[in-house]
Structure 1
Amino acid sequence: MQAGQTPVLVMNTAPERQSGRKAQASNIAAAKTVADVIRTCLGPKAMLKMILDPMGGILLTNDGNSILREIDVAHPAAKNMIELSRTQDEEVGDGTTSVIILAGEILAHCLPLLERSVHPVVIIAALNKALKESLQVLKNISIPIDTSSDKEMLSLIQTSIGTKLVTRWSDLMCRLALDAVRTVSKDDAGTKTIDIKRYARVEKVPGGEIEQSKALDGIMLNKDITHPAMRRRINNPRIILLDCPLEYKKGESQTNMEISKEADWARAQEIEEDQVKNMCLKLIEFKPDIVITEKGISDLAQHVLLKANVSAIRRVRKSDTNRIARAVGATIINRVEDLRESDVGTNCGLFYIEKIGDEYFTFLTKCKSPKACTILLRGPSKDILNEIERNLADAMSVARNVIFNPTLTPGGGASELAINVALTARARAVVGAESAVFSAVADAMEVIPRTLCQNAGGNPIRILTELKAKHATGENSWGVDGETGKPVDMKVYGLYESSSVKIQTLKTAIEAARVLLRVDDIVQAARKDQSSGGNVEQGPPPEEAMEAQ
């Protein structure tokens, strides 16, 4: 391929209407193709994908969800598969590559059953039973974890980012993720809430070294004070948060003023100034050190606040204001007249402004029990910082899942092999089509350890045979060492994954297989042509091509 060309993956299938067996085979082929695209992205020896976006930017990642989000597909079944990865990412934040590979493999193993005229409804019913059996196996081999133990939690988070680009700085990244999750966790009347999306913000500042990244015990904003003479460092500041402008409120669009005398114009200006001054004086009554507003601050308001030795920051995003409110214990006020002493934030230990690179950043740190935080990431380039942010989001999601469901399952394909052995035994106990479906799901489960082995350069046939022999004797913790591709006991190796991720992966993969097996017709909807008086026109044939844009 020449430099500058975009990689294109084409699936050649007939563009006309497809129904029955043909539609199912087409859907399975599309799902398998999507799975093959990201198969090499599994495990610690995963390869990276370089994706060129239409604007000429580059995405360099081995995160399944990030890759599939950038790929442009036309086939409806392929789109359905890509949605799986997004669902997995939103639900548990990890396992986005595994779920696609597993779903594609389950469908591929169901294709021979369809060709032998086994009805899809029979296959779907058996898949439900196989899922129930698999979840029971996971429950039997899972072990509890002490979420208050730093060592156990860091070991678990290390597993989730051991396959990522940031694995070189894994100790630092695991600590950042754990600190962030513990900071934002909140217990309301016995109900635990951990909203990392809203309250654990990642700020990426290119420059410096990755080792300089840190989780702040407070908030950082890409803002500077409005007036250069205002204080830039304050210990134990009193903070007021506003959702209203500190400037004269103009009338609505229909408001008109007709002024005939010069004195009246001066009086109108005076009234405007008085209104702004009164708002500022009302704020100053509460002796604040910092005023932060989501709207604007006029020059006059800045002058009045400066004379009272108050620092001001304006046009702060709503999401940032919400995090500051949680961190410093303040309440966001919509009208200055409604301000009360209890609304002033006093939990912040230090306010200061620092220049990093070309920009000024505001820090509100040393907060007493902040329920929101900012993670400051430093690194050599934007591309690397974006990848670190994606990996860190996975690590935080894993830490959050474990707090809600404190159980672990062995990693390295050990869980999948345990399910494989259990379903193979179950297949022998039942008869007919159900037995074939159990065998198909059992064979599909081998894809995870096999892919791990292939990506690490091992011999999959010999190693899988060896591992199956171990599992057959009840040694459920044996899996593949992703670094060397050799069999290893996960208890000794210390590689355990969150049960939540494994359970969600199985449920999503089998649910996807069930949905695609139920489809027996692919028809393009007709489109009304507005220009020709509402004549019905057949739309263009569906292009069954996938382009990595």
Structure 2
Amino acid sequence: MLVGGAGQIKLTKDGNVLLHEMQIQHPTAAVIARAATAQDDITGDGTTSSVLFTGELLKQAERFLSDGLHPRILAEGFELAREEALRVLDNIKVDKPDVLQDRELLTSVARTSLRTKLDQQLADQLTEIVTDAVLTIATPGRPVDLHMIEIMHMVHQSAADTRLIKGLVLDHGSRHPDMPSELENCFIMTCNVSLEYEKSEVNSGFFYNSADQREKMVEAERKFTDDKVKQIIELKRHVCTDENKASFVIINQKGIDPLSLDMLAKEGILALRRAKRRNMERLTLA
């Protein structure tokens, strides 16, 4: 149990969380903590084991130092032990040329790691979910990019309600009541185009002498945005025909103003705005 400076309480058995949350002052302890967290970043497990193993090595080294043994000899001994350990591991390792095809092995690895951090029942439940998630994003011949997996925390839900969605879950919906809520057989357009009025990148000013001039300026600004929306609508009409019965979805990284949303809604287009860049990358796998 960790108690923060503001009184917040955190319960965990994950060594990586403990090392990140603890305020370590001793320089040697800080080095051990960084080494252990690096172990977790690379393999995803073994943080506590790394700390215990390193601590025991230093404990035994201190005993020999007290007997007058030179530190250089101890360092050479550790180096010899490291080389011997690597040799033994190399001899007993099992080659798996295509580990992504061995689901049983991946499940076993996930279960072993999760049981060190969670209770057995929850760990066994999450094992299948974690394995399926990795296999879903895996591409033969390429390293697995775990950033393609997103963990979304749902309010009023427990860890036992965790489930895998083989698709893309966006944490924002449409911003217009007339837009469709359910679509099938969709063309999805991804873009990073502002469909709203934006201030210029440089400071600029405009002086008008009459209300008519001001109205013309507003109309010109509106026309600039409307022209982009009309081009999207034309594209939708071109690809969504009566034969294919397809729908059209826009996922935009930038904003869409209410007037543009209204124009899109009248065409039956579902538009999502201010999508995260990472979700745009995940969309290619959905």
Q: TM-score, normalised by structure 2?
A: 0.89
**Match for residue 176 of structure 1 among 129, 148, 156:** 129
Residues 1:285 and 2:234 aligned together: yes
Higher relative contact order (CA 8 A, sep 6+): 1
Residues 1:269 and 2:222 aligned together: no
For 1:294-325, what per-residue CA distance to the aligned partner results, in whole angstroms no more than 9, with x for missing partners? 2211111111111111111112222222222x
Indicate how the Cα distance of structure 1 residues 55 and 284 shifts in structure 2: closer, same or farther if over 3 A, else same: farther
Contact persistence 1:85–1:100 (CA under 8 A): yes
For 1:48-70, what per-residue CA distance to the aligned partner results, in whole angstroms no more than 9, with x for missing partners? xx111223322111111101111
**Match for residue 73 of structure 1 among 24, 29, 36:** 24
Contact persistence 1:276–1:300 (CA under 8 A): no
- Structure 2 Cα separation of the partners of residues 272 and 89 of structure 1: 53
Contact persistence 1:88–1:96 (CA under 8 A): yes
Q: CA RMSD in A?
A: 1.8
- Structure 1 Cα separation of the partners of residues 220 and 33 of structure 2: 60
Residues 1:193 and 2:143 aligned together: yes
For 1:130-174, what per-residue CA distance to the aligned partner results, in whole angstroms no more than 9, with x for missing partners? 111112222233334573233333223211122222421233211
Structure 1 counterpart of 2:43, which letter? V
Structure 2 match to 1:339: none
Q: CA deviation at 1:293?
A: 1.5
Indicate how the Cα distance of structure 1 residues 222 and 56 shifts in structure 2: closer, same or farther if over 3 A, else same: farther
Structure 2 match to 1:88: 39
Structure 1 counterpart of 2:136, which letter? T
Structure 1 counterpart of 2:33, which letter? I
Structure 2 match to 1:116: 67
Structure 1 counterpart of 2:50, which letter? V
Q: CA deviation at 1:244?
A: 2.5
Structure 2 match to 1:44: none
Residues 1:107 and 2:58 aligned together: yes
Structure 1 counterpart of 2:22, which letter? I
For 1:154-207, what per-residue CA distance to the aligned partner results, in whole angstroms no more than 9, with x for missing partners? 2232111222224212332111111111122223xx4x21111x2111111133
- Structure 1 Cα separation of the partners of residues 47 and 197 of structure 2: 51
Q: CA deviation at 1:208?
A: 4.1
Residues 1:136 and 2:95 aligned together: no
For 1:224-263, what per-residue CA distance to the aligned partner results, in whole angstroms no more than 9, with x for missing partners? 1111110010012111112232112332342100000211
Equivalent position SS for 1:201: coil
**Match for residue 165 of structure 1 among 115, 118, 123:** 118
Equivalent position SS for 2:139: strand
**Match for residue 108 of structure 2 among 144, 155, 164:** 155
Equivalent position SS for 2:55: helix
Q: TM-score, normalised by structure 1?
A: 0.48
Counterparts of 1:248-267 in structure 2, within 5 Å, are 248-267=197-216
**Match for residue 262 of structure 2 among 296, 303, 317:** 303
- Structure 2 Cα separation of the partners of residues 161 and 64 of structure 1: 13
Contact persistence 1:273–1:300 (CA under 8 A): no
Percent identity over the alignment is: 28
- Structure 1 Cα separation of the partners of residues 58 and 91 of structure 2: 26
Residues 1:242 and 2:228 aligned together: no
Q: CA deviation at 1:273?
A: 1.3
Residues 1:317 and 2:276 aligned together: yes
Question: Whose strand fraction is larger, Structure 1's or Structure 2's?
Answer: 1
- Structure 2 Cα separation of the partners of residues 208 and 130 of structure 1: 48
Structure 1 match to 2:165: 216
- Structure 2 Cα separation of the partners of residues 164 and 269 of structure 1: 59
Q: Where does the alignment leave 5 or more consecutive residues of structure 1 unmatched?
A: 1-49, 328-369, 371-549
Indicate how the Cα distance of structure 1 residues 319 and 102 shifts in structure 2: closer, same or farther if over 3 A, else same: same
Q: Where does the alignment leave 5 or more consecutive residues of structure 2 unmatched?
A: 237-246
Equivalent position SS for 2:131: helix
Aligned structure 1 segments of 4 or more residues deviating by more than 6 angstroms: none
- Structure 2 Cα separation of the partners of residues 182 and 163 of structure 1: 22
- Structure 1 Cα separation of the partners of residues 181 and 24 of structure 2: 51
Residues 1:127 and 2:78 aligned together: yes
- Structure 1 Cα separation of the partners of residues 232 and 37 of structure 2: 46
Structure 2 counterpart of 1:51, which letter? L
Counterparts of 1:389-408 in structure 2, within 5 Å, are none
Residues 1:54 and 2:5 aligned together: yes
Structure 1 counterpart of 2:191, which letter? L
Structure 2 counterpart of 1:310, which letter? I
- Structure 2 Cα separation of the partners of residues 112 and 305 of structure 1: 76
**Match for residue 228 of structure 1 among 177, 181, 189:** 177
Contact persistence 1:180–1:200 (CA under 8 A): yes
